[in-house]
Amino acid sequence: MALARVVGFTGVTNERIEELRQMIGEQGRPDEVPAREVMILHDADAQRSLAILIFDNEDDYRRGDEALRAMPADETPGSRTSIDKYTVAIRATA
């Protein structure tokens, strides 16, 4: 069963999103974060974002969560406001 790690951030500028886009495009995700999928949603007007990472199983989630919690603040989109764990109940793509 897939699990989602959903993290809220504030203070996320357009410039920071562009930096992350370039960094992820060049480097990909770190090996210690075995996420199947990474999605970052951004509300530019409110300078908020949500990072959603999908993991295949509990062990991958745990490994990713530990690595992401240890991540230096300058590598995150902004200031963390929440970290939540969800079961992926429904998933559809076009």
**For residue 68, is it within any domain?**
yes
Residue range of the domain that includes 73: 3-87
Give the C-alpha separation, 78 to 54, whole Å.
20
The CATH number of residue 72's host domain is 3.30.70
**For residue 94, is it within any domain?**
no
Tens of pLDDT along 43-90?
999 999 999 999 999 999 999 999 999 988 777 889 999 999 999 999
Q: Give the pLDDT of residue 64.
A: 96
pLDDT band at 25 (very low <50, low <70, confident <90, very high): confident
**For residue 92, is it within any domain?**
no
**For residue 93, is it within any domain?**
no
**For residue 9, is it within any domain?**
yes
